[in-house]
Chains A and B, each alone.
Chain A
Amino acid sequence: MTDRDETFDKVAKLIEPFNKKGATLSDSTTFAGDLEWDSLVVMDFVANVEDEFDILITMNMQAEIETVGQLVDAIESLRNQG
């Protein structure tokens, strides 16, 4: 399993409690469209991701992240910087 796959799995676990519709998760799953998350869910989820990976996902970055794949890539790049 690559590091990226491992990160994807961790992210999928963090999505689970908020995945009320039981949407199937892939790199192209969108948070607003497929998961139908509003800003309050996003806030809780982002805080959990930040704590899991010990990183900061600033609101500036959040604005650029629309899909699960983009989030996984952002986490990977933030961890490599750290």
Chain B
Amino acid sequence: MSESVANAMNPADEAPLGPSGRDLFSKFDPLIAQRQALLDTGVKDPFSLVMEKVLSPTRAICNGKETILLGTYNYMGMTFDPDVIAAGKTALDEFGSGTTGSRVLNGTYVGHKAVEDALKDFYAMDHAMVFSTGYQANLGIISTIAGKDDYIVLDIDSHASIYDGCAMGDAQIVPFRHNDITALEKRLARIPAGAGKLVVLEGVYSMLGDIAPLKEMIAVSKAAGAMVLVDEAHSMGFIGPNGRGVAEAQGVMDDVDFIIGTFSKSVGTVGGFCVSNHPKFEILRLVCRPYVFTASLPPSVVATAATSVRKLMNVPEKRAHLWENSKRLHGGLKSLGFTLGTDEPQSAIIAVIMPDLEKGAAMWEALLAEGVYVNLARPPATPAGMTLLRCSLCAEHSEAEVGEILARFERAGRATGVIG
């Protein structure tokens, strides 16, 4: 079946269930119709791009064309690091392609302990627990530590994995307005006395690339007797003096009870983790269902992760270059007349706000034709119903590449009428 046939969907098509049956897929009809309307305008489907070949952390072949990658989370460019690749190959040879087992049964190899040791060293914390994905780390930790009668107070713009962790644990969920310290403080004060409280924050919010005022938020959380979990997925490796994230940059690491992170961004492979100094932390290995009831990461993955995490402990030049890239792209796009998600560059994510989904899809396609890949983000993933072109920079983008990206943005922006 060709790709176009496989992707063709019509809300009028129904599964053959007879007159008394109801197609469970009917609930998706509005989305199918919206998607079809977008494709009918003639744009390519922005959510089904295939990379035919990956040349480096910053280059791939898409639709037969060499493309600058500006939408990956490969912030530190570790995916083709020779030491990382070599560690993975050795582990593949020595330990095989997979563990075929749970971490608590036959799925813990020396490599899994080694990457947890690397994380303890990286964060200077007592405990580290590695999950098969970052999504599962949030799902597992949040649902396990906050149960039915506990309260979770979270930023309204939190990642889906955080919301899903809240729902799975059946806790009382209290959202507050994005990055609003007073709103957080007020809500904490209204929680019944004696209830367990977990405040969930992110260091960098990945849609707009803005950072949280963690210092103030953690202070009000601690004053209210809450435990604090910070997701530092989008800050690891380049924010803070040791790359530990926004909490480190703001000097409040010691007040964070749990840090959630991922291997699928700066570390350059896949997997998730939680680090903590809680004295009873290790019990989570027995009670956390998304940790227990799934297969552990393959030996090659934990070997690449351990090598990458250790290398990320000492890369000041790469960090500095990534920040240079972020500042240059932000400043350049701003002076071209694009509307950006933040006034100043706060992370390696630069979000370009599009007037609507149609213009956003057209601009995305024009950029791809120019040879630049960015992420198109749309509601419900985005805040305030925005359509965004999310650019994420890599420490391996050269100065010349960033210049080329700006030139291509200018041409695509003028061609689509996004800028005048």
Interface residues of A (CB under 8 A from B): 38-40, 43, 47, 50-51, 54-56, 58-60
Q: Are B156 and A43 in contact (CB under 8 A)?
A: yes
Q: Are A47 and B177 in contact (CB under 8 A)?
A: yes
A50 contact set on B, CB distance < 8 A: 186-187, 190
**Residues A40 and B384 in contact in the complex (CB < 8 Å), given A47-B177, A59-B173, A59-B175:** yes
B186 contact set on A, CB distance < 8 A: 50-51
B160 contact set on A, CB distance < 8 A: none
Q: Are A59 and B174 in contact (CB under 8 A)?
A: yes
Residue in chain B with minimal CB distance to A78: B190
**Residues A39 and B177 in contact in the complex (CB < 8 Å), given A47-B183, A55-B190, A56-B187:** no
Question: Which of A54, A55, A58 is packed against the most chain B CB atoms within 10 Å?
Answer: A58
Q: Are A56 and B190 in contact (CB under 8 A)?
A: yes
Q: Are B173 and A58 in contact (CB under 8 A)?
A: yes
Given contacts A50-B190, A51-B186, 14 further A-B contacts (CB under 8 A): A38-B385, A43-B156, A47-B176, A47-B177, A50-B187, A55-B190, A56-B174, A56-B187, A58-B151, A58-B172, A58-B173, A59-B173, A60-B172, A60-B173
B191 contact set on A, CB distance < 8 A: 56
- Mark each residue of chain B from 53 to 80: 1 if its CB lies under 8 Å from any CB of chain A, else 0: 0000000000000000000000000000
B143 to chain A, nearest CB (A): 14
Q: How far is the CA of A71 from the CA of B336 in the complex (A)?
A: 48
Does B380 sit within 8 A of A, measured CB to CB? yes
Main SS at interface, chain A = helix
A58 contact set on B, CB distance < 8 A: 151, 172-174
A56 contact set on B, CB distance < 8 A: 174, 187, 190-191
Q: How far is the CA of A59 from the CA of B172 in the complex (A)?
A: 7
Q: Are B174 and A39 in contact (CB under 8 A)?
A: no
Q: How far is the CA of A55 from the CA of B174 in the complex (A)?
A: 11
Main SS at interface, chain B = mixed
Q: How far is the CA of A47 from the CA of B380 in the complex (A)?
A: 19
Residue in chain A with minimal CB distance to B171: A60
A48 to chain B, nearest CB (A): 11
B190 contact set on A, CB distance < 8 A: 50, 54-56
B interface, how many residues as a size bin?
10 to 19
Q: How far is the CA of A6 from the CA of B329 in the complex (A)?
A: 54
- Mark each residue of chain B from 132 to 173: 1 if its CB lies under 8 Å from any CB of chain A, else 0: 000000000000000000010000100000000010000011
Residue in chain A with minimal CB distance to B182: A51
- Mark each residue of chain B from 165 to 206: 1 if its CB lies under 8 Å from any CB of chain A, else 0: 010000011111100000100110011000000000000000
B146 to chain A, nearest CB (A): 12
Residue in chain B with minimal CB distance to A55: B190
Residue in chain A with minimal CB distance to B180: A47
Q: How far is the CA of A51 from the CA of B173 in the complex (A)?
A: 17
Q: How far is the CA of A58 from the CA of B183 in the complex (A)?
A: 14
B94 to chain A, nearest CB (A): 48
Q: Quick one: which of A39, A51, A55, A60 contacts B380, CB cutoff 8 A?
A: A39
Q: How far is the CA of A55 from the CA of B191 in the complex (A)?
A: 9
Question: Which of B175, B176, B190 is packed against the most chain A CB atoms within 10 Å?
Answer: B190
- Mark each residue of chain B from 378 to 390: 1 if its CB lies under 8 Å from any CB of chain A, else 0: 0010001100000
Q: How far is the CA of A73 from the CA of B382 in the complex (A)?
A: 33
Residue in chain A with minimal CB distance to B383: A40
Question: Which of A38, A54, A59 is packed against the most chain B CB atoms within 10 Å?
Answer: A59
A51 contact set on B, CB distance < 8 A: 186
B279 to chain A, nearest CB (A): 30
Q: How far is the CA of A10 from the CA of B175 in the complex (A)?
A: 22
A60 contact set on B, CB distance < 8 A: 172-173
B367 to chain A, nearest CB (A): 28
Residue in chain B with minimal CB distance to A62: B173
Residue in chain B with minimal CB distance to A46: B175
A54 contact set on B, CB distance < 8 A: 190
Residue in chain B with minimal CB distance to A61: B172
B173 contact set on A, CB distance < 8 A: 58-60
CB pairs A–B below 8 angstroms (7 shown)? A39-B380, A40-B385, A47-B177, A47-B183, A50-B187, A55-B190, A58-B173
Q: How far is the CA of A39 from the CA of B380 in the complex (A)?
A: 9
Question: Which of A38, A40, A43, A56 is packed against the most chain B CB atoms within 10 Å?
Answer: A56
Residue in chain A with minimal CB distance to B176: A47
Q: How far is the CA of A29 from the CA of B380 in the complex (A)?
A: 25
B79 to chain A, nearest CB (A): 36
A18 to chain B, nearest CB (A): 15
